[in-house]
Structure 1
Amino acid sequence: MSDRPIDMGIWSAQEIRATTRRLASVREAALCGERTATAPRAVICESWRRALGSGVDPDRDRRERPLTVEELEHRRHSSQLASLLPLFNSGLLPAVDAAQQIMVVADGEGRVLWREGCAAVRRMADRHGFDKGADWTEDVVGTNAIGTALVARRPVLVHTTEHFVRTHHQWTCAAAPLHDPRDGRLLGIVDVSGPAHTFHPTVLSLVTAVARLAEGELRERHHGALDRLRASAAPVLARLGGQALAVDKDGWTAAVTGLAPPDRVALPKSPEAGPLWLPRYGMCTLEPLPGGWLIRVGAPPGDEPRPSRVLLDLSSRARPAVTVTGPAGSWSHELSPRHAEVLFVLAHRPQGRSAADLAQDLFGDRGRTVTVRAELSRLRRHLASVLAHRPYRFADGVDVELRLPPRPVDLLPHSTAPAVVAARSG
């Protein structure tokens, strides 16, 4: 195929029809492995390849079991996106209704949690299984704005025949990912979809702007909660001797005494008051505070347990995580995309890597050692007890298990790190 992409600028009705015809011929050529004078956009071309590799049928819908009512309600209740629905409704629904479209909010696994908008378009979506509880990932329905944005981790427009599945060719959709502003974790997707002839190309900009507003709202709420926790913890910390921290329920630091303040402390998923081993501080004592926890640092000499096992789970494309296990129990930590890349390299190369080696592995540039050292410093805030340096590696005596996806192509699909790209193609 040529590298000359099809333009996706402002469309008239005639331009929509012409673009659709050109895209249809490009899609057919791609499915047959043929070359054409024009190429799809890179984000679409990469998605088509993934859909082909996943065995998605290009000619008809594939329906996976939707979530049960109980499962759907559980995900809605536990999602951070639930509190943002008023913002989505005020920011998108007036334009969506006027344009005869629908607004969809999906979680980080591509499951549709909420769907609002034009009743006639909702009925059209029902015929494609595009309803609450549906799985809208690329593995199931091929190239689409929700599933492709989950992989690309950026706003995506999918226009008519850019959809991999033929039965979706009358649709155009625009979606933007929503990230937790505290740590960059992918929370889900906000999407606007509908018939191509009623779709305006500025919708992608609108969806992206609303997603950024939503992330800003989450950031402000987080800062406000930490301020309230800091105010209630200040008199407690003032009376203490030694080292202690006040953190919120997710481990984000509000105040400290006797030590340098970390951004976050890795807590168990369901912490309880009492003795607790933490990977950064060893044995601690956990006490409840309004809106969080008081962590008293310290243990009698010789009583500190050492971690014995690390599970690096990269089997999920959306949520890479590391779990550390030791005599005092285990804890898990979701990884940022960059930290997932770093730990993959260290697990893949157990003999260790120098800063220059890691710079080559991550960026293809051995000179970017300052960036590498900064990333390792941040990573060691959570994993100091299981990571060693000179060279960088997992500590001696720690058993490391690397859990990969069944297909190599699904390994950290958003990553452009040379070491990961090589592993995917291998």
Structure 2
Amino acid sequence: MAKAPVDVTQLAAVDAVQAARVLSKVRSATLAGQPTRMAPRPVIGQSWERMLRSGVDPDHDFRSGLLPREEVKRRRETSPLRHVLPVLREGLLSVADVAHHIMVVADAEGRVLWREGSPSVLRKADGLGFELGADWREDVVGTNGVGTPAVVRRPVQVFAAEHFVRSHATWTCTGAPVTDPRDGRLLGVVDVSGPLETMHPATLAWVDSVAKLAEAKLRERHLTSLERLRAVAAPVLARLSGRAAVVDRDGWTAAVAGMPYTPRIALPKSPSAGSRWLPAIGLCLLEPLAGGWLVRAGEEPVPHGAARVVLDLARARRWSVTVSGCAGSCTHELSPRHAELLYLLAVHRTGRSAADLAEDVFGDPARRVTVRAEMSRVRRYLGALLEHRPYRFREDAEVEVLLPDDPRDLLPHSTAPAVTQGRRAAPAP
């Protein structure tokens, strides 16, 4: 008989202390492998399973040291999250302080970069290691409101004994990932935390809504920066003949001349001036511009010699694809959805139709339009290496997939039926 998951929201709304006791019993029984009438919520239970596989100690808080103050400062200065701190403060701090919570902002590596809120709660947080520069990755300190949302890529509330490590059971954490609105890349996590008696059922929706406001602000900043670059690009492109584009430092297109508009051109990881090979265009000349690059396409066709594609899915939070050929190599960081799609194409080298991929990803073959839109975006950085009807890697491309050591850790954020099945199987590629 299936066990019913604990309804934390309902329990805690009535009596937080009693809810914590129930969760403590569920945790103890689950970790000991003993029978129990109730089970942890799926997002918590799956996290606990990852922790047991990775060897996190549920009874002791072991972690890496704090980052030096200079490194915290450097990360703050380079993090895109610095631009949305006013949005986060306005949306969270006034309520958090009254409710005896603190706001924590961590980067994509789980390192705490900002921490503000109730002074008394900040002092309690010090005792839990919730300090500036602390490492709160899930595979370091167990299930928590910073590390777990970063892994599953959705908002998560972790209440009392839902924390994997026992010493965190007096705490409640609610975190939401903040992603780059341009490509879905994880930028960090915003978290609201406090003593367990401060837990409120509405906190999850509140934190998630503020995180989405921050992403909207980042999108607005991006569009404004492209407008500025477009003004710089216009006179430059007017003087040129042939195919050319002006892109920002991350490859997002401001303007084009003599070639179709593509929202993004995949640049090398550390671009520099000179002749370069870009998968979607071929041989190009990169020239620096204020705020970006001038990409001048050569007349040579895209090389069709042997190409090697390395799909790196080994890490829990960041995935990438690297293309190497006779003219060079290029690496592109993948969004969660694109990581799923490329994994499926790597497994099915003979190809998948849009309906097949819709079934694989959504469990619904009717969602073909969504799949086609995503595959169109993938082709922008893989270019001629991908074919369609059906979608597949080019036959002469050598494709290698780097998978986690344990198949059960494959793309932990994903709920796609085919990925879930892949977690139960031996590595196929």
Q: CA deviation at 1:9?
A: 4.5
Question: How do residues 335-346 of structure 1 correspond to structure 2 at under 5 angstroms?
Answer: 335-346=334-345
Q: CA deviation at 1:305?
A: 7.3
- Residue 169 of structure 2 is matched in structure 1 by 169
Residues matched between the structures, number: 424
Q: CA deviation at 1:70?
A: 4.4
Q: CA deviation at 1:179?
A: 0.9
Contact 1:309 1:398 in 2 (8 A): yes
Q: CA deviation at 1:253?
A: 1.1
Structure 1 unaligned spans of 5+: none
Q: CA deviation at 1:22?
A: 1.7
Contact 2:321 2:332 in 1 (8 A): yes
Q: CA deviation at 1:62?
A: 2.0
Query: Which amino acid in structure 1 is aligned with residue 158 of structure 2?
Result: V
Query: Which amino acid in structure 2 is aligned with residue 392 of structure 1?
Result: Y
Contact 2:16 2:199 in 1 (8 A): no
Contact 1:307 1:385 in 2 (8 A): no
Query: Which amino acid in structure 2 is aligned with residue 60 of structure 1?
Result: H
Q: Secondary structure at the match of 1:145?
A: coil
Q: Secondary structure at the match of 1:384?
A: helix
Q: Give CA-to-partner distance per residue, 1:379-406, whole Å, 9 cap, x none.
A: 1111013223344332233222211112
Q: CA deviation at 1:308?
A: 2.4
- Residue 6 of structure 1 is matched in structure 2 by 7
Taking the aligned partners of 1:201 and 1:381, their CA distance within structure 2 comes to 42
Question: How do residues 238-387 of structure 1 correspond to structure 2 at under 5 angstroms?
Answer: 238-300=238-300, 304=303, 306=305, 308-387=307-386
Contact 1:253 1:265 in 2 (8 A): yes
Q: CA deviation at 1:199?
A: 4.0
- Residue 218 of structure 1 is matched in structure 2 by 218
Q: CA deviation at 1:241?
A: 2.5
- Residue 417 of structure 1 is matched in structure 2 by 416
Q: CA deviation at 1:196?
A: 1.5
Taking the aligned partners of 1:48 and 1:300, their CA distance within structure 2 comes to 53
Moved more, 127-136 or 164-173: 127-136
Q: Secondary structure at the match of 2:15?
A: helix
Q: State the identity as a percent.
A: 57
Q: CA deviation at 1:341?
A: 1.2
Taking the aligned partners of 2:89 and 2:336, their CA distance within structure 1 comes to 30
Q: Secondary structure at the match of 1:116?
A: strand
- Residue 206 of structure 2 is matched in structure 1 by 206
- Residue 179 of structure 1 is matched in structure 2 by 179
Moved more, 387-396 or 268-277: 387-396
- Residue 388 of structure 1 is matched in structure 2 by 387
Structure 2 unaligned spans of 5+: none
Q: 1:100 to 1:393 in 2, by over 3 A?
A: same
Taking the aligned partners of 2:288 and 2:370, their CA distance within structure 1 comes to 37
RMSD across aligned C-alpha pairs, in angstroms?
2.4
Contact 1:6 1:38 in 2 (8 A): no
Moved more, 60-69 or 282-291: 60-69
Query: Which amino acid in structure 2 is aligned with residue 327 of structure 1?
Result: C
- Residue 108 of structure 1 is matched in structure 2 by 108
Taking structure 2 as the reference length, the TM-score comes to 0.91
Q: 1:324 to 1:74 in 2, by over 3 A?
A: farther
Q: CA deviation at 1:307?
A: 6.1
Taking the aligned partners of 2:217 and 2:389, their CA distance within structure 1 comes to 42
Q: Secondary structure at the match of 1:181?
A: coil
Contact 2:174 2:191 in 1 (8 A): yes
Taking the aligned partners of 2:88 and 2:390, their CA distance within structure 1 comes to 48
Contact 1:145 1:174 in 2 (8 A): yes
Taking the aligned partners of 1:217 and 1:242, their CA distance within structure 2 comes to 36
Q: 1:342 to 1:249 in 2, by over 3 A?
A: same
Query: Which amino acid in structure 1 is aligned with residue 237 of structure 2?
Result: L
Q: CA deviation at 1:7?
A: 4.3
Taking the aligned partners of 1:95 and 1:299, their CA distance within structure 2 comes to 59
Taking the aligned partners of 1:25 and 1:317, their CA distance within structure 2 comes to 29
Contact 1:111 1:134 in 2 (8 A): yes
Taking the aligned partners of 1:145 and 1:114, their CA distance within structure 2 comes to 15
Query: Which amino acid in structure 2 is aligned with residue 6 of structure 1?
Result: D
Q: CA deviation at 1:238?
A: 2.7
Taking the aligned partners of 1:330 and 1:75, their CA distance within structure 2 comes to 28
- Residue 93 of structure 2 is matched in structure 1 by 93
- Residue 192 of structure 1 is matched in structure 2 by 192
